[in-house]
Structure 1
Amino acid sequence: MFKTYEEIRVWREEMIESVSDDHLQLNTFHDQLIHHTFHLAKEKVEREQGEPPAPFAFFLMGSAGRYEQSLWSDQDHGILFDGDEKHQDYYLSLGEEIRDGMAIVGYERCEGNVMASNPLWCQPVDVFTRQISEWLREAEWQSLRHFLIFFDSRVLVGESELLLKVKETSFAVIDEEPGLLARLMDNVNYVKKGVGVFGQLLPDYSGEKKGHFNLKQTVYFPYINALRILSLFQHVTNSSTLSRFEALRSLYPSLSEYENGFRQFLQQRLELKKDAEDYQQVHVIKVEQLSKEEKQQLKKQVKSAQKLYQMAKNIIKEGRT
C-alpha cells in the first residue's frame, strides 16, 4: 500500500483530523500508522539482511501500549525474539529502522531511549525475562521504573505469547517478594497537586509553562498508576487502563464510577487539545483559555483520579501487610 515513510506521514496528516474526536478511532488509526511503518522497516531490513532469523514480537509501551495516545505521541517500543543472542544485531537493525521510520511519520523519538534500537529493549525472550526478574529483585528506583514502563506493553506484530511469558514471570517474582508492590507504588508516588484549598485549578507559576495546567501529571498519571498497581496485585496482563478497569471490576465494584470518570477524561483531553501542534502541547492547557464548565470538569477529574490513587494505595497496603 505504502512505498515510503513520507507517504504514511501524508496519510496521517490527511486523515487524523477525521478521527481526532473519538478516542478508540484515534488509537486504531495510530495502530494502523505504526503497523504500516513497521512493515516498511521490516521489508527494508529483509532486503539487506534476509528474513527474520527467529520468531519475534514487536511490542508497544507507554501511551501506545495502553492504547491511550492523543493526537501526538512519542515512541515507546521494543522487540523480543525467541532465539540465540547472536540474532540481536539483526533485530537491533530492525529497531533502528522502525525508530527512524516512525520519526518521519510523526512520532518523536523517546527522550529516555525506550525504543527497539536500544539493546535494553531488544533481546532474546529468555534474557529479557531474567532482566525483568533482576529489575524487580534489585528494587532500585531506576530498575523499577524500567519495569513499570515495560508492564504497560502489548504486542502489535508477532508472537504475543513471548510477551505474556515475561509478564507471568514478573507476577511470580512479585509474589515471592513481600513489600515489592509497595516499593512499586512508591516509585510513582508523586502526584502533582491540581486543585488549591479554595477550589481553584493550580497551574504552573513559573518557567516556560507558566499559567498552564498539567493534564498528564494531575489527572492522567493517578488513573493509570492506580490501575497498573492493582493489575500487578491481581495478575492482570492487560495493558490498557480501560481493559484493566474491566478486568478488575468484579473484584472492586467501586471502580465503576472511576472508570466512567476516566472515559470522560480521555474524551475531554481530546476536545481540549484538538488544536495541539506537537507532542509537547498535548499534556498542558492554559487555564485562562478554559470555560467555567471546563474548569469544573477538570476539578472533578482531579479529585476523582487522586481519590482512586489513594484507594489503590490502601488496597496494596492492606493486602501486603
Structure 2
Amino acid sequence: MGYRVAVVGATGNVGREMLNILEEVDFPVEKIHAIASRKSIGVEVSFGDQILKCEDVEQFDFSTVDVVLMSVSGSFSKEWSPKIGAAGPIVIDNSSAWRMDPDVPLVVPEVNPDDVEWANRKNIIANPNCSTAQLVVALKPLHDRARIKRVVVSTYQSVSGAGKEGMDELFDQTKNVFVLGATPPKKFPKQIAFNVIPFIGAFQDDGYTDEEAKMWNETHKMIDPAIKLTVTCVRVPVMVGHSEAVNIEFHEPLDEDEARDILRDSPGLIVIDKRDDKGYMTPKEAQGEFPVFVSRIRNDPTVENGLNLWVVADNLRKGAALNAVQIAELLHARGLIRQKALA
C-alpha cells in the first residue's frame, strides 16, 4: 500500500520538480494531490503519465494525506505548516521558515539522517538552503575524518534559485542585449545577463546577507557548531545549477589523495577530478542529475592542513526537490510515516 501525498506549491519550479522526482524514484504513492493557491485552481501539472489539476490549499483536507511536501514562501509556511502537521501528515518544508527552529530537524539524509527520529515534535522537517545542501554533503565525510576548523565559500548561484521570474529575466535580458539593449532589471537588483551580482537576499547589520548567514547557521546545526564558516554569495547568469569554490582548513592532516578517496566512497557524491581541460564538473552538466559533484580537489599550501574543492549540483534537485523526496524515502525506510487507512 502506498502513501497519500500532497505537494503544496505544485505550480512552481521546485513543486513541479518534486512531482517529477517522486515519480522518477518510484516513491510508494497511492494517491497524489497537487495543491496551490486559489489563483492556480485547475492549473494542470504532470505526475508521470497522470495530469493533475491543482486544488485550493484553503479548501483541502490535509487530514486525508500522509506526507506533505511544501514548496512555498517562508511566511506561507509559517502559517500553514503547523496547521498541516497538527492535522496528521508529516510536513517536509523547503522554505527558510523552520530551519533554525530547535524543535524542527533540518535534514540532509547523507549528513544527519538520525535527526528525522525527532520530527514528531512538530510534525515538520526542514529542507536546507539550496547552497547549504550541496556544501554539507561534501563537508561531512571530510569533517568525520579530520575535523574541519574553518571554511571559506564563494557561491556561483543560478537564476533558478530565484524562481521562474529569475529565469525569465535572464532569458529576456540575454536576448534583448542583441536587439534593443537589455531590459531593465525587475527580479534582480542589477542586470544579470552578461554580469554577476555579489548580493543574494537582504543585507544584515554586519554587512553579510541573510543568504550567506543561512549557510553557516544551517551547517552548524547539521554538522558542528564549532566550524568557522564565512561565505560570499554571488548570482551568476546560469539557468540551473549552483557551484561553490570551497577552501577548508582542518584540525588534523588530510591530503588531497586521501580526501579524493573519502569523497569517492561517500553517499550522494561523485568525484570528477582529472587534471586536464575537461576533467571537472560544470553546472550545465549537473543539470537534471541527482548527485553532488566534486572537482578540483587540491592541497592549499598557504595554511596548515588546507584543501580546496569545487562543488556543483542541480539546485532544483539536490538543493531542493530531491532532498525533500529523499527525506520522505528515509521516513518510509524507518517506518516513521503514520499511514492512514484508505477510505
TM-score, normalisation: structure 1:
0.26
Instruction: Output the TM-score relative to the length of structure 2.
Output: 0.25
The structure in which a higher percent of residues are strand is 2
